Structure 1
């Protein structure tokens, strides 16, 4: 086997390995985690654990992620993929260029406190002075923790109105002596009605997309 064939085989193996990392990259390097968690909070707050089903929530989260990440992906395509496809740069240069738009997005969504935490945990003696000094191994976990915090903050705000409805219904049933009747049977239609009247899906989608701005 010639040297060229050997290099091609190595490139194919690297490509196959990279494809296996796509789901992890989607979860950890984009807004997918925040969106999916918030959608799960909506379903739990309303009290419908199987509606929408998990497959629908994942599909919604996926396409909302593509919508939110479209500017970043377009920039990666312009600065990294197109020059690589045209043969103007090699693979290593393309990977380096592709990191820049992604790092900019992640820095915008990462809290300074979380970033400082993982810089401290990394044990580096010299404190980074610029963003370029922070490696991806530090930025990615800081970004994930920030996304989890943001998702739970949004989820808490979503829970409040539905929790108030549950409390009102439970207090009303208690005052009427209807202790044996589960409050969820009465509150569920009211929560669904509230969600429909305020156009909940459009409101949540708008809030989610704007939360990345």
Structure 2
């Protein structure tokens, strides 16, 4: 043994973070847009159960991986050669810091400027002045909801054109 005693709080935080990976896959990739479009196409065809939901989600996942492969490659290059044992919160924070720049670039590329502006402006009403003091429109707390909103908007625009 190496004499390392795991901290229960650290274990819980690491496991909770790992548990958020499916949510990240759904919200930080094109999965949501692709699946909404596929379901709208199915509804436009007038069929209820063909193809089944599992097939549509499988197609959406495969296409999402295909579209997101450049981001995955950039993120991999950021963590290549690092210790990824994730045995404590500090290692988790270091991993997050390494993955943030490529994720920010990806989200910035696909999040509409108007959506980013909306979420920055909304903080003036919702957040305290101290909380929004250093806020920028390329912070993840702005980029993630702007990206999700932009992707849903595009999905329904595509669905409208196809319907």
TM-score range, shorter chain: 0.7 to 0.9
Q: In structure 2, what is the Cα distance between the partners aligned to 1:21 and 1:3?
A: 30
Aligned-partner SS, 1:49 = coil
| Structure 2 CA distance for aligned equivalents of residues 39 and 85 of structure 1 | 39
**5+ long unaligned stretches in structure 2:** 125-131
Corresponding residue of 2:4:
4
Q: Give the match's secondary structure for 1:5.
A: coil
Q: CA deviation at 1:49?
A: 1.5
- C-alpha RMSD of matched pairs (Å): 2.4
Q: Does 1:142 align with 2:146?
A: yes
Taking structure 2 as the reference length, what is the TM-score of the superposition?
A: 0.82
Task: Please report how far the alpha carbon of residue 90 of structure 1 lies from its aligned counterpart in structure 2 after TM superposition.
Answer: 4.3
* Alignment match, 2:37: 38
Find out whether 1:158 has 2:162 as its counterpart. Answer: yes
Give the alignment's TM-score, normalised by structure 1: 0.64
Q: Which residue of 2 aligns with 1:112?
A: 113
- Unaligned regions of 5+ residues in structure 1, if any? 160-213
Q: Name the structure, 1 or 2, with higher relative contact order (CA <8 Å, separation 6+).
A: 2
2:87 corresponds to 1:83: no
Shift of 1:127: 7.0
CA distance in 2, matches of 1:157, 1:60: 20
More helix by share: 1
